[in-house]
Every structure is written in structure tokens, then in C-alpha cells.
Amino acid sequence: MDSYDDLPFPGGDLAVAATRFARDLEHPAIFNHSMRTYLYGRFIGTEQGLRPDLDYDDELLFLGAVLHDVGLSDEGDGDQRFDLDGADLAARFLAGQGVAADRVEVVWDAVALHLCGDVALRKRPEIALVAAGAGFDLGRDDPHRLPAGYAERVHAVLPRLHATAVLYDAIVGQAIDRPHKAPPYTMPGELLRQWTGGAWPTWRQAMTQPSGWGDYDGYQPEG
């Protein structure tokens, strides 16, 4: 696959097309993160005793990984949170490639749930390993679990390019003009809050505006 032949990426036509699609859309740091997500997700799968194309569909894992942040591209920047925008764009791309609807659905779930690790980990391996691999690449796990020299080998081909900083700026950049892309209590919402120094509404404020149902009127907590 292009210049990545020394790393264990799938080499089929669809994987190559998805790689080029993501690479053409994304900041290089985000693209490299997406490619590393597959490698680390696959490694975590091996740790768990999961065998590619026996216990999970390796192509679907790759597609979920390489497309999981396309919502942070200009083309993927719609009116939803970036993870949902990305899932929709990934689905459109795969449908345009003639991929069967049931396979498109797996990739949609992998992209849409990659910020929800506790949910994704309860789903099928292709979905769980995208979330796990993305988290691993962002430093949420111990890199010393990797075989000696493996991270160095990966980074030589897919350099980090300040990945976490670029991701932060991309998520916040989308939300500054359209705050509804980063609703309160979500990860994008927290990053926007950090950027602006603002405060989230309390539960009571959120539940009384704008509905005006009056649930707190005269309410006295039990006990």
C-alpha cells in the first residue's frame, strides 16, 4: 500500500482507496494518527487473543480506523459533532465504493463510537479495536506494552507531527463558530469550554431552559 509496505496494512483495493481518501482530506498529523490507530488496535486485538480475519474482519477494522477522524476535515465538517459527521462521510464514501450496507454499518458504528470507549468496548471487535487503538495512540495506555522497537518503527513511517495538539485545535476550531458541534458534557464540549474559559450550565439550568416545564417549582428533595 503506497509507501507503507513495511507495516501490516491491508493491501486490497478498498483499503487503498480509503487510505487515499483520508489522506487527501485530513491534516497529515490526523491522517498519521488514523493509520496508527489501526496498527495499535490490531496489536491490542492480538493481546486479547483475537486473530485477524478469523475472530474479526481485518478490512473493516482498517476502514474504521483510517476513516475515524474524517469528520475533522473540511469536507467532513457538517452540523453535528465531528464523530457523527465523520461516520456519515465514511458511510457515503463506502457506499460509493459499492460496499454492502451491513459492512458500511459496522464502519459507521466504529467511527461514531470511537469517543465512547466504554460503549465501543462492548461492541464487536472491529468497533472496539478502533476505539482502543485511537486511545492507545493518544497516550491513554502504557506504550511499553508494545514489542521493543515497534513504536519507533511505526513513528519512522508515520511521524506524530504533534498529533494531540493538532486534534485539539481541529476539534475546537470547528466548534468556535458553531458551538452546537460541541454540546455540554461531551468531549468536544469540554475542549471548547477549556478554550473559551466558559462554564457549563448546571443540571437544573439545563433542565429548566428552554422547556420551562417547571419540574423544580416547589420541589423539595426527599430525606
Give the pLDDT confidence of 153-207 residue by residue, as tens digits.
999 999 999 999 999 999 999 999 899 999 999 999 999 999 999 998 888 888 8
- CA pair distance 184, 31, nearest whole angstrom: 27
* Predicted confidence band of residue 212 (pLDDT cuts 50, 70, 90): confident
pTM: 0.93
* Rounded percentage of the chain residues whose pLDDT exceeds 70: 98
Backbone phi and psi for residue 56, each to the nearest 5 degrees, phi listed first? -155, 165
- Residue 169 belongs to a domain: no
- Residue 83 belongs to a domain: yes
- Residue 147 belongs to a domain: yes
Helix count (H) and strand count (E) of the chain? 11, 0
- CA pair distance 34, 62, nearest whole angstrom: 9
- Residue 37 belongs to a domain: yes
Query: What's 147's DSSP letter?
Result: P
- Residue 85 belongs to a domain: yes
- Comparing 213 with 83, the larger pLDDT belongs to 83
- Residue 218 belongs to a domain: no
Backbone phi and psi for residue 107, each to the nearest 5 degrees, phi listed first? -65, -40
59, 12 Cβ separation under 8 angstroms: yes
pLDDT digits (tens, 9 = 90+) for 98-135: 999 999 999 999 999 999 989 999 999 999 999 999 99
Residues 6+ apart with CB under 8 A from 5: none
- Residue 211 belongs to a domain: no
Q: What b/e sequence results for 30-51 when a residue is b if at least 16 CB atoms lie within 10 Å of its CB, and e otherwise?
A: bbbbbbbbbbbbbbbbeeeebe
CB-count exposure of residue 169 (10 Å: 0-12, 13-18, 19+): middle
Residues 6+ apart with CB under 8 A from 198: 192
- Give the three cell numbers for residue 14: 478498498
- Residue 65 belongs to a domain: yes
Range of the domain at 121: 13-160
* Predicted confidence band of residue 140 (pLDDT cuts 50, 70, 90): confident
Instruction: Say how many Å lie between the first and final Cα of the chain, rounded.
Output: 65
Q: Crossing angle, helix 13-25 and helix 58-66, to 10 degrees?
A: 10
Residue 204 has a pLDDT of 86
Residue 1 has a pLDDT of 58
Say if residue 87's pLDDT is above 70: yes
Overall number of domains in the chain: 1
Residue 216 has a pLDDT of 87
Looking at residues 78-100, what average pLDDT do you find?
98
Q: Report the CATH number at residue 112.
A: 1.10.3210
